[in-house]
Structure formats: C-alpha cells, structure tokens
Amino acid sequence: MTMDSQDKVFLGTTFATAVLPVFIYVVGAALIITGFVLRFGRGFGTFVNYARKDNDFLELGRLDMIFGLFTAAACVLVLMFFVAAYATLRKNKFLLRAYCAVIALMVIVQLVAGLLAFTYSDQINQLASDDILYESLNKTALRYASPPPTDDETQFWIHTQYTLGCCGVMSSKDWRFSDTQLTAYSCFRPNYDIGCEKQIHSRISADTQYLGAASMSVVLVEASVLVVNVTVLKI
C-alpha cells in the first residue's frame, strides 16, 4: 500500500505540529533537571556559596550567568509546548510563526551559554591557582581554634574539604595539623592524599563542560525542529 502526496503532507504536518512540540517539551524539562543537578547537586551549591564569600576568587558569578541562561532557555522550551499546542488546535499560523521565532532565539541563547561554559571551563585552572589557594589556607591555619571560627575563609575550607572529599591544596600535609585538628576541619584520613586544588578544578570543569555539551546538543535539536516546521508547515 503506497501513500499519495496528500497522505504524506498530512503525516508531515502531524509530526511537525504534534510530535515535535512534545519532544521539545521533554528536552526542556530534561535540561531544567540537568541544570539544577549540576548547579546544586552533590553539595556543589553549598561549596559555591562559601567560595563566593571567600573573595569569590573563582568568579562564580560567571557560572551563575551560564546556569541562568541555560535554565531560562529550558523553561522557555517547556512553555513553548503550550503555545504550539494552542496554535495547532486553533490552526493559528501567527502563533506558529511566533513559536518558530522563539525557538530560533533559543538557538542563539543556548549557543551563547555553551560557548561561555566551555570558556569558563578552560579558564578555571588559572582562577583556582596554587598561590591563591595556599594564601587562603595559610590564613585559615593561623586562625585555628577549637571549635573552628566562623569567618568566611575558615568556613570555605571546612565545607570544601567536606563536600569535595579533599584535604589541603595538594594534600593534608599543607595544614601541618594533628589528626584531631584535621578532622575538626573536615579533612578526613581517607582523603589525606587528595588535594582540593585538583578536586576544585575537576568538579567545576566537568560540570561546566556538561552544561556546554548539553547546550550545544540542544542547539542541534532546535535547529532541526525549525527546519522541519518551516519546510512542512511553510510558515
């Protein structure tokens, strides 16, 4: 059984107006979940809060901007599902054109977010340099007290070592503390040889690369949706 041209047009129109908006909705929802997991999951949100208080030497405002663009674009994709559904039911070409225009804008936003994420990932090694971390650690060590003081620098190290499972800049030897003192600062024996410099680099670089890769992948999806809509619906 072969399909005539009208059947093909009908199937193409159904795919463009019904299937693709649902797909975009699912992609948008998945991006929102991914963004929040990467930004706040596994204790990273707590680490960021204390790192920002400690002179924000990691320039985490840039990470927040990337996350904001990423999440905003994902939320728009979710909302566009309802616009596309309404436009399809009403056979409103103006709304369908608006839908395509917004998707085109999201292509640009996701592209910018992806490029910013990869750029920040490349620069993180310079931001979290040995000199900066050693200076911060030495100041914290000089303020040692039991219980630990509540200044931002001390709290940064306590929460960083606890969250990222690390000790000191290169190892626990950087502190020159006893085991009891190390434990009070969340530097635990299994992590003695795991430096926080490497963990900070690895965690932030990996998370921003995931955000960048997700953004670039969605750009391809959005571009494909635009091509299909313009080709099939001729809007």
Domain boundaries, the chain: 1-91, 92-234
Cis peptide before 149 (omega within 30 of 0): no
Q: What per-residue confidence (pLDDT) applies to 218? A: 84
Give the per-residue pLDDT at 103: 84
pLDDT, block means (10 residues), the chain with 235 residues: 44 50 80 86 83 77 88 87 79 81 88 92 78 89 90 91 93 93 94 93 88 87 74 62
Q: What is the pLDDT of residue 172?
A: 94
Q: How many CA atoms does the CB half-sphere of 3 hold within 13 Å?
A: 8
Please list, in sequence order, all residues whose beta carbon lies within 8 angstroms of the beta carbon of residue 187, skipping any fewer than 6 positions away.
Answer: 161, 167, 168, 172, 175, 177
DSSP string, 106-122: HHHHHHHHHHHHHHHHH
Please enumerate in sequence order all residues whose Cβ is within 8 A of that of 118, keeping only pairs 6 or more positions apart, or say none.
208, 209, 212
Q: What is the pLDDT of residue 60?
A: 82
Angle between helices 60-90 and 20-40 (to 10 degrees): 160
How high is the pLDDT of residue 94?
84
The Cα-based distances of 31 to 47, 93, 109 in angstroms read: 22, 28, 14
